[in-house]
Chain A
Amino acid sequence: MRLVGKTALITGAARRRGIGRGVALALAKEGADILINDVDAMDEAEELREIIRQLGRKAEIFRADVSVRSEVNDMFRFLERTFGGIDILVNNAGVASWENVTDITEETYRRIMGVNVKGAFNCCQEAARLMIRQGRGGRIVIISSVHAQMPFGGMAAYGASKAALRELANALALELAPHGINVNHIGPGWVDSDINRNSPDLQTEEDRRRTMGMIPCARPADPENDLGRGVVYLVTGDGDYVTGTYLRIDGGFVTGKFYDSAYRGV
């Protein structure tokens, strides 16, 4: 239990199958108190809150659209009032879409850049300001994506948003290090979460088999055990000297061209 007495805010944390919930559970099991943020799925958020409370940790929910600054400001006021401060921000909220680059509409563009990038700007800036006022440093983890390294066709807006998060994390690592705030980003590969339900690569069992076959580890990432534990590494003492790093947790998905896990070579 290495995070007892620490408070973590995790954005986009409500969904049962999502990365945010996995991270929340991993941090709570290390002793952290958790503020659960989401804009939707409040029933799932309440379920998560009860699970965390049963672990003996404090847990609350704040519904906010991270792309709207006033809502983010309200969330941080609630955080200060209710938890007394913040030690860890996990910027996880994200949306995705699939279309040819020529078919990206203004609505899609604004939604993806708003939630994924402007949301990170809003939350990171408020968290950093609060951490600096507190004077005890802090940790910021941005959940980017393998797209931050290797974009995929048909996902220009999403890929752009994740590349933006990569450089945001890097710039923040440089600027916030003097304040004792470490900033890193994690690139998850395939996760069986709601964000991927519209993926053209996962519409049928055959799609799924083919997609999983492209992952050297031959399975999707587990939100808590694979990704949540990665966040734990970055936000505990193990990560004291780690800032500006990209931790890719993808089962080898974008290591190189890997076509089929059944292939065994010559």
Chain B
Amino acid sequence: MGMDNKVVVVVGADTAVGSAVAREFERENARVSLVPLQPDGAAPAGAGNGRHVIPLRGRDWDEPARVMKEIRDRHGRIDVTVFTPRPFAPKSFLALSEEEWEENEYAVVRLGLRFIQETARHREAGGEQRIILVLPAHTLMAFQGSSAQSSTCAALETIARVAAVDLGPHNIKVNCVVYGWTHAQRHMMYEIPPEKAHLVRDGIPLGRCADPSEIAGVVKFLAGPQASYVTGATVRADGGYLITRSAGQAFPEL
């Protein structure tokens, strides 16, 4: 399964990681459809082979069905779906509102599930599909202030593993990539004062944050021919951040 001419859907293309994933597949001459999560989500820069941007118009249960049908109608099939949820800033559990909790649940669990379902709906007899969820470190380890995001990301990671079981007989492989700190993250998630940046770096065995392209490379591996027997896996691309809990936390006061 080389990427040449493969139809790849990147949901969350307006996140730093999603944008990097889209660029990676475009370099491989895939036909990439970009689904920004925000109504005004900007598509990442760069020209591609048959680039196609289709934003979510609303929050209805059936909205992902509309999006995926439009992509299937345009390209004739769907080979790979990559889903990465938009990140949320940390917030004290005691201060979380009901609306914030529900927004996390929608943006991570519900959208992730729906895009898994709608990818599988467009499978072809005798064909193969890959579904890759790209999730933040909170998925596997709780942090202070991460109750909503850890809960929802863990839920989605479990959906991926069950989907690998349920969809394996259809030759649909479902995997997750869990990333740690990326250079881009500080602009969208945790505003880390420069004087505290070392606290993050000190908690990463490799001693540096990732470039989003380094996450995208793992996603490409899971979408490619060398991962043909990989399903239900969760691959950490975190520079070793999740090995231990030591240091690596520079969150603002909650």
By the criterion CB–CB under 8 Å, are A172 and B158 in contact? Answer: no
Closest Cβ–Cβ distance, residue A154 to chain B (whole Å) = 6
Majority-rule SS of A interface residues: helix
0/1 interface trace, chain A 156-175, chain B, CB 8 Å (1 if under) = 11011111111110111111
A106 to B138, CA, bound (A): 26
By the criterion CB–CB under 8 Å, are A156 and B159 in contact? Answer: yes
Closest Cβ–Cβ distance, residue A156 to chain B (whole Å) = 4
Which B residues lie within 8 Å of A118 (CB)?
101-102, 105
Which B residues lie within 8 Å of A156 (CB)?
113, 158-159, 162-163, 166
Which B residues lie within 8 Å of A162 (CB)?
158
By the criterion CB–CB under 8 Å, are B117 and A104 in contact? Answer: yes
Q: Which residue of B lies closest to A105 (CB)?
A: B61
Given known A-B contacts A102-B167, A156-B166, A168-B151, A175 and B157 have beta carbons under 8 A apart: no
By the criterion CB–CB under 8 Å, are B94 and A128 in contact? Answer: yes
Is A101 positioned at the interface, with any CB of B under 8 Å from its CB? yes
Which A residues lie within 8 Å of B139 (CB)?
167
Contacts of A96-126 to chain B: CB distance below 8 A: 100-102, 104, 106, 109, 113, 117-118, 121-122, 124-125
Is A152 positioned at the interface, with any CB of B under 8 Å from its CB? yes
By the criterion CB–CB under 8 Å, are A102 and B117 in contact? Answer: yes
Q: Which residue of A lies closest to B123 (CB)?
A: A102
Closest Cβ–Cβ distance, residue A114 to chain B (whole Å) = 9
Closest Cβ–Cβ distance, residue A138 to chain B (whole Å) = 13
By the criterion CB–CB under 8 Å, are B161 and A151 in contact? Answer: yes
Q: How many residues of A contact B (CB 8 A)?
A: 43
Is B248 positioned at the interface, with any CB of A under 8 Å from its CB? no
By the criterion CB–CB under 8 Å, are B96 and A125 in contact? Answer: yes
By the criterion CB–CB under 8 Å, are A104 and B101 in contact? Answer: no
Is B171 positioned at the interface, with any CB of A under 8 Å from its CB? no
0/1 interface trace, chain A 120-145, chain B, CB 8 Å (1 if under) = 01101100110010000000000000
Closest Cβ–Cβ distance, residue A170 to chain B (whole Å) = 4
A104 to B150, CA, bound (A): 22
A102 to B93, CA, bound (A): 32
Is A153 positioned at the interface, with any CB of B under 8 Å from its CB? yes
Residues of A within 8 A of B (CB): 69, 100-102, 104, 106, 109, 113, 117-118, 121-122, 124-125, 128-129, 132, 147, 151-157, 159-168, 170-176, 244
**Contact sample, A vs B, 26 pairs, CB 8 Å cutoff:** A69-B98, A100-B166, A102-B167, A104-B117, A109-B110, A113-B105, A117-B151, A121-B96, A122-B98, A125-B93, A151-B165, A155-B162, A156-B166, A160-B109, A160-B156, A162-B158, A163-B158, A164-B151, A165-B151, A167-B139, A168-B147, A171-B142, A171-B151, A172-B93, A175-B254, A244-B142
The 7 A-B pairs at the shortest CB distance, nearest first, are namely A153-B165, A170-B142, A167-B150, A171-B147, A160-B155, A163-B158, A156-B162
